[in-house]
Amino acid sequence: MDVLFWQLVRLLIHSGYRIAQMSERGDEIWLESGHWRRPTIVRLVRADFDWSRSLRLDIEYTWQFVRQMNGRKIGKGGHVVNVYVMAYPPVDDWEFLVDEPLPLSEPADGAFHTLLIHSSNTAEMLPRLADMTGATIRPEPLTEGADPFATAERLKYEVLTEWHREQEEERRIFEYGKPLFTRLLIVVQVVMFLILEWSGGSTDPSVLIRYGAKFNPLIEMGEWWRFLTPMFLHIGFLHLLTNTFALYYLGITVERLYGSLRFLLIYTTAGFFGTLASFLFTPSISAGASGAIFGLFGALLYFGTVYRHLFFRTMGMNVVSLIVVNLLFGLLVPGIDNAGHIGGLVGGFLAAGAVHLPKRAAWGRQMKALVVAALLAAAGLWLGFR
C-alpha cells in the first residue's frame, strides 16, 4: 500500500496536479489541480485506523479545516477528494462515513468526498478516484520479486525530486529580473516634483503645462512629446505619494517577472496609451503616473493568461480586486482621469503581450498583441487629430 500511495501521488502529478503541502513524514499530501475554473483539491493519507471512530474524527477535522481555508477557493463545481490508503479498513462499521459527500459552503458550491482504498477494494475505488479527479489512475503492478519497500522509497524520491524542481522553477519565474528601472523611475518623478515645486508649485496649471503636462491644445499644435512626459509629473504631494507607493510595489513585481528592459517598454507604452485615452476623452489638464501604473496591472493580467493557475494561486484575486476597486473609485470620485487609467491598463496588457515573458517566446501571440497595439494607437491618433 505504500507503493500504491506514492504511485497515486505521481499519477496525479502527471495528470496536471501539483503538491501544495506535505507532512514531514510524507504520509499526508495535499494536491491541487491545474484547472482554475473547476478546482479540485486532493488529500492523500497513508494511514491505518483500527476503529471507525478514529476515521470519523479525522474526516470531521479535515472537513472543518477545508471549510475554514483562507485563500484557497473551491468555487462553484469544485470539490475536495479526501483519500485514505490503508492496508486494511477499520474492524467495525465505517462505510456510512464515506457514503455521501459533505457540503463545503452554502449554497452548496462544492463537495467534500471521502474515499477509503484498502488492499481488498482497489479495483473498485481507483476508477472512482479517476472519475472524481479527472486523472488517469492506472498504477503499475509490482514486478515479481521486487522489494516493495525499496520501490516505495524510489517512488517517494522521484516525487520529491519533481516537487522541488517545480518549486525552483516557480521561484525563478518571480525572480527573473532586478528592480533597477523601478527605483530609477521613482527618483525621476520625485526630482520632477521638486522641480515643479521650485518653479511655482505642482498644482499651478501654468507650471504643469510648462513642464509637459497633458494639455490638449498644445498636443493638437504638434507637441507630441506630451504623450509621454505627463507620467513623470504629479499634482500635489498626495498624488506623488500614492503613485510612488503603487509604482514601488507593482513595479518591483512586474520588473522581477519580465526583466528590466521589458518592464521599461511596458511602463512607457502604458503611459503613452493612458495619455492618449485621456487626450481623446478628457479635455482638462492632466498629469501623473497612474496610466503607466495601471499598465503594470495589465502586465500582471497578461502574466495570468500565461501562468493561469500560478497567477490565481498567488496574486490573481488581489490584482483583479485592486483593478476593480480603483476603476470604481475613479468613476465615483470627481477629478480622477479614469480614461487614462483604462487606456494604461489596455496598453500595459498589449505591451506585455508583445514582449511576452522571458524564456517563453510565443511569436504568434506577440505579433497579434503588437498589431492590435499599433492599430489602437493609430486609430486613437487619427481620431484625436482629425
The catalytic residues are: 290, 341
C-alpha dist (Å) from residue 207 to 154, 196, 229, 276: 71, 7, 13, 21
One DSSP character per residue, 213-280 reads -B-HHHHHTT-GGGGTGGGG--SSHHHHHHHHHHHHHHHHHHHHHH-HHHHHHHHHHHHHHHHHHHHH
User: DSSP 3-state assignment of 47?
Assistant: coil
Candidates 323, 330, 325; CA nearest to 296 is: 323
Cell for 309?
Answer: 493557475
Cell for 192?
Answer: 520632477
Q: Are 338 and 361 in contact (CB under 8 A)?
A: no
Cell for 215?
Answer: 494639455
Candidates 253, 256, 267; CA nearest to 319 is: 253
* DSSP H or E segment with residue 76: none
Q: How far apart are CA 183 and CA 380, in angstroms?
A: 31
Place of cell 495589465: 298
Q: Residue-wise over 183-207: b if at least 16 C-beta within 10 A, else e?
A: eebbeebeebbeebbeeeebeeeeb
C-alpha dist (Å) from residue 243 to 237, 275, 334: 10, 16, 18
Q: How far apart are CA 94 and CA 112, in angstroms?
A: 17
